[in-house]
């Protein structure tokens, strides 16, 4: 038995005031629209839980007439039913959408001498960056903000493509862990098949996030919550959470190794220049 008086469980981070969460996200989105004086928000919809939840909160915030959705499948590597789920959602929310398969765009890169389809990670990152470039092209032409669907779990462990899916003007779900996003999706009454769908970047057929990472999101979130929100030292997290030291170390290592993804590219410093952010 642990010498600590109380354990931390997944319920501690899932049981948050979602009415307040929704209100805060809605106000955040509305304020960004007002501050930037844009006419609409554009987003990519994969049919997964994060992007589906993002669509729901955008509709809640500014209405369907100010949201534009891009569904951009790779037909050679479609995660089963994702595109159909995405199409079902845009119909349900009555939102304007574009269905743009990206196969031909991806194939246009084959003229590059070092193009190699066998490198699954590089190809997956390429497809993610292609999708984001399409969103920004539309946003530039139509005075729109790009909304990204990355959640706090993905951001903190670096499970996203640099200058890809996290390259956005706003990340409305960026303060919520994956498990919290799933709970929010349920509260927003998204289809159960989407709420419970395993997370997948879709880099290759059958690609599942938890299998690639090797750790379930419940454990990832629990460790991140203990470390960042509760301020528990690394050596004590196993006692508080019952998560093994090896897993704790792996999660925190992912966080540290991905710092470069969360900061602006480094530049040389001169003593006479004051850096302003």
Task: Supply 171's token pair.
Answer: 């990340």
Residue 244 belongs to some domain of the structure: no
Are 102 and 77 in contact by the 8 Å Cβ rule? The answer is no
Please write the tens of the pLDDT for every residue from 54-69: 999 999 999 999 999 9
What contacts 139, CB < 8 A, 6 or more positions away? 42, 145, 146, 169
Quick check: is 99 in a domain? yes
- For helices 49-62 and 82-93, the axis angle rounded to 10 degrees is 10
**Domain, as residue range, for 95:** 15-198
**What is the DSSP-derived secondary structure letter of residue 153?**
H
| Residue 205, domain member (yes or no) | no
List, for residues 99-149, the tens digit of each pLDDT value.
999 999 999 999 999 998 888 899 999 999 999 999 999 999 999 999 999
| Structure-token match 């960004």, residue found | 32
Number of domains within the chain: 1
3-state secondary structure (DSSP) of residue 103: helix
Report the alpha-carbon distance of residue 103 to residue 47 in Å, rounded: 18
Beta-sheet strand order (sheet of 96-99): 96-99, 67-71, 40-44, 144-147
Residue 26 falls inside a structural domain = yes
> Rounded to whole angstroms, how far apart are CA atoms 199 and 2?
33
Give the chain's residues under pLDDT 70. 1-5, 77-80, 275-277
Determine, yes or no, domain membership for 179. yes
The domain that holds 115 is classified in CATH as 3.40.50.620
pLDDT (0 to 100) of residue 2: 43
Angle, helices 18-36/178-187, rounded to nearest 10 degrees: 90
229 in a domain, yes or no? no
Residue 106 per-residue DSSP state: H
Decide if 101 is inside a domain: yes
Residue 246 included in any domain: no
User: What pLDDT score was predicted for residue 55?
Assistant: 98
């Amino acid at each position: 038995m642990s010498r600590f008086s109380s354990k931390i469980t997944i319920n501690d981070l899932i049981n948050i005031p979602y009415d307040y969460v929704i209100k805060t996200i809605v106000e955040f989105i509305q304020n960004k629209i007002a501050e930037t004086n844009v006419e609409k928000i554009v987003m990519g919809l994969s049919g997964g839980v994060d992007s589906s939840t993002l669509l729901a909160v955008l509709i809640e915030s500014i209405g369907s007439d100010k949201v534009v959705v891009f569904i951009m499948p790779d037909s050679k590597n479609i995660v089963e039913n994702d595109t159909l789920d995405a199409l079902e959602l845009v119909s349900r929310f009555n939102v304007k959408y574009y269905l743009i398969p990206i196969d031909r765009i991806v194939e246009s890169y084959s003229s590059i001498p070092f193009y190699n389809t066998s490198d699954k990670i590089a190809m997956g990152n390429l497809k993610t960056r292609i999708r984001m470039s399409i969103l920004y092209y539309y946003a530039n032409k139509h005075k729109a903000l790009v909304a990204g669907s990355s959640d706090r779990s993905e951001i903190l462990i670096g499970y996203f493509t640099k200058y890809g899916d996290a390259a956005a003007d706003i990340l409305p779900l960026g303060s919520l862990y994956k498990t919290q996003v799933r709970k929010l999706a349920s509260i927003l009454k998204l289809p159960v098949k989407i709420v419970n769908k395993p997370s997948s970047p879709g880099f290759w057929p059958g690609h599942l996030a938890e299998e690639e990472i090797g750790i379930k999101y419940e454990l990832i979130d629990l460790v991140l919550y203990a470390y960042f929100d509760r301020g528990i030292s690394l050596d004590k997290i196993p006692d508080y959470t019952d998560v093994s030291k090896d897993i704790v170390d792996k999660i925190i290592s992912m966080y540290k190794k991905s710092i470069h993804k969360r900061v602006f590219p480094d530049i040389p410093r001169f003593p006479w220049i004051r850096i302003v952010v």
